[in-house]
Amino acid sequence: MSTDEKPKILLLGGIDHTKAKDAWSALSSLGTLLTPKATNPTDFLQECRSGSLDGVKAVYRTFQSVSITGRIEGAGYDQISVSACTSHGIFVSNTPQVVDAATADTAIFLMLGALRGFNLPLLTLRKGEWRGKTSPPLGHDPEGKKLGILGMGGIGRDIGRKAEGFGMSVVYHNRKRLPPEEEGGAKYVSFEELLKGSDVLSLNLPLNVSSSLCYLFFLEDYPRSLVVYVKAERLQKNTRHIISTPQFAQMKDGVVIINTARGPVMDEAALVDALKSGKVFSVGLDVFEEEPKVHPGLLENEHVLLLPHMGTATYETQEKMELHVIDNVRSALEMGKLVTPVPEQQA
């Protein structure tokens, strides 16, 4: 590519919001805007190998792009090998704080619904049975309960602030304790203390699993100078099945569990057993181990409140995410650096 030739900027998927569409169009002053001709992963890889995408300097992918590239979806970057990207000069960006409020609101909704046991009356009412053939069991008030937060990033801190408004006390566990000014009155405890002392446990930590599809896609089929954008949160080590049978055994009888993080951080089979035994009173889930598949034991249990991964599904949040992507692309092209690189690539 000659020095006076504009770089190429590749859009995978579609942009939904008007402000973001306008911001994307404005990038034409910095480069040539492209979309792939391919409509499936096999053809897309072939299109990359053909050389038609040589000169691409930045890629913006959306949720819809999974049909084109294969599975590289979600708000986290657990499906990308950041170390492989780094070793080949590929830079990955994230959107810290953009999704915090919407995800925290979802967690609060699930927490209140699970505490009160609202799932069963919701189901029976739609069947025309009012409160059911027998009255549903009594639920619990949030006031006076201890909320344990595993993963005190932006989402966890927002959940903690909102939970205090319901009269809950908040404890948390991270790999490292937060500075006091960021704790918001929450108490730092060990992982064991968190499990043993929480009335409600909220999971807010990412998953550290990389995908071979993503590895091949980024490593083999793009120029070394490519900048890759992925909507993401902070990575934490060794989080797959961090909650499983041994951890359930340490919890209070009748604990309530909320997961708005990643499905595989909790062992669903062990969760089903804990629900059957009564160790877990109820659970609120927005994420699952094998999405979109949901464990049959969760679907069958009346004490499980379910959402189909909708934590960030608000107009405002999605618009902010799209605009933040474009800010990263613009910064990469104009300044040679990302606004929000993932932690592993921060200097």
Active site residues: 262, 291, 309
- Cβ(208)–Cβ(238) under 8 Å? yes
CA quadruple 87, 91, 96, 98: dihedral sign: negative
- Cβ(331)–Cβ(337) under 8 Å? yes
- Cβ(69)–Cβ(217) under 8 Å? yes
Amino acid letter, residue 99 = V
Give one DSSP letter per residue of 259-314, joined into a string: E-S-GGGB-HHHHHHHHHHTSEEEEEES--TBTTB--HHHHH-TTEEE-SS-TT-S
Q: Which residues pair with 148 in a beta bridge?
A: 171, 201
Three-state DSSP at 60 gives strand
- Cβ(41)–Cβ(71) under 8 Å? no
Structure tokens at 287: 């994420």
Q: Which residues pair with 34 in a beta bridge?
A: 10
Three-state DSSP at 254 gives coil
Q: Which residues pair with 12 in a beta bridge?
A: 61
Chain CA centroid to CA 274, Å:
24
- How many Cβ atoms sit within 10 Å of the Cβ of residue 164? 15
Name the burial class of residue 147, with classes exposed (0-12), middle (13-18) and buried (19+) by CB atoms within 10 angstroms of its CB: buried
Structure tokens at 167: 């009269």
